[in-house]
Amino acid sequence: MDLVTTLARLPEIGETLIAEKLDYFVGGKGANQAVAASRVGGDVALLGKIGCDTFGEKILNQLKQECLNLVNIEEDDQSFTGIANVFKLPTDNCITVVPGANGRIDDTYVVEHADIIAEADVLLMQLEIPIEAVKQGLRIAKAAGVITILNPAPFSAAVLNLLPQVDYLTPNELEFASLLPDRLKALPFEEAMLSFSEKYDTTVIVTRGAKGVAYVQDSQLLTVPTREVTVSDTTGAGDTFNGILAQQLSRGESLANAISLATAGATYATTKFGAQTGMPTLLDLQALAPK
């Protein structure tokens, strides 16, 4: 559950501020990305856990309004539903996460759902669950020839050890900088991207906010620009990008086309308030296309 606090700026250490308002939204990176993929036509199964509490009940009820396969969602009576504290600022946000039931997703849970992973076209994962569960999911998917996408958020240095099992890595600019060894951190962005891509087989796709989306193909750095829009809320924009990217790759779209549509979707999401509430349908994106 996203607890979204709207305020003009973050407080300093020891300072108390009066915020403008507090909103509750169904969130979580996995759920957000699943909704984004399904809204543009994806056949999506969501794996995860919620607590046996009011938030968990509300989340399930709302997700049932989407076109999602939820039969593998487990209610964990030993924990509470995960919470994200989202601090919404005028042009951006910052987030803290309390994992709750997400932290209780283990190897056993993943192995129990190996069949649904192996039958998929794409496995999309994030790091709001324990790293060992992520490793297990990626191993199962790669063994079955499934395309794997890892959104390395919240960031963990363990990501580098996962790269042999990851086809597409989708960090934002800060997460990408955290991945770089010291010798590359001082380089201009383009040089750092090219050097990183030479070392690893994983295709890295960096979301850069208003600066667009950058990726390397055939030893060239390519950038997909974003449209200029009036930003209402950036919460969920990255999740929108990842969900649409996964759906497009599952259909066999080229990487360039997949990134282009995902970028358009993420840009659209920033014009709406809330994460899942702002995610577009294909009709929404078609309406944005030049006439």
Instruction: Please indicate whether residue 218 is annotated as part of the active site.
Output: no
- Count of structural domains within the chain: 1
259 or 92, which is more confident?
259
Is 272 labelled a binding residue?
A: yes
Of the candidates 2, 76, 167, 239, the residue annotated as catalytic is 239
Q: How far apart are CA 51 and CA 57, in angstroms?
A: 8
Average pLDDT over residues 190-209: 95
| Tokens coding 14 | 């020891």
In a domain, 62, yes or no: yes
Helices (H), strands (E): how many in the chain? 12, 14
42 annotated as belonging to a binding site for a ligand: no
Check whether 93 is labelled as a binding-site residue.
Answer: no
User: Is 238 annotated as contributing to ligand binding?
Assistant: yes
Q: Is residue 185 in a domain?
A: yes
Q: Is residue 91 part of a domain?
A: no
In this structure, is residue 257 part of a structural domain? yes
Q: What is the pLDDT of residue 277?
A: 85
Domain with 237 in it: what CATH number? 3.40.1190.20
Does position 104 have pLDDT exceeding 70, yes or no? yes
Q: How far apart are CA 98 and CA 223, in angstroms?
A: 34
Domain that holds residue 180: 29-80+103-279
Q: Is residue 269 part of a domain?
A: yes
Under 8 Å between Cβ of 114 and 32 = no
Whether residue 253 is predicted with pLDDT greater than 70 in this model: the reply is: yes
- Domain assignment present for 15: no
pLDDT confidence of residue 289: 63
For residue 112, being part of any structural domain is answered with yes
- In this structure, are residues 144 and 117 in contact, taking their beta carbons and an 8 Å threshold? yes
Q: To 5 degrees, how large is the angle CA 203–CA 204–CA 208?
A: 150
Q: Does residue 230 fall inside a structural domain?
A: yes
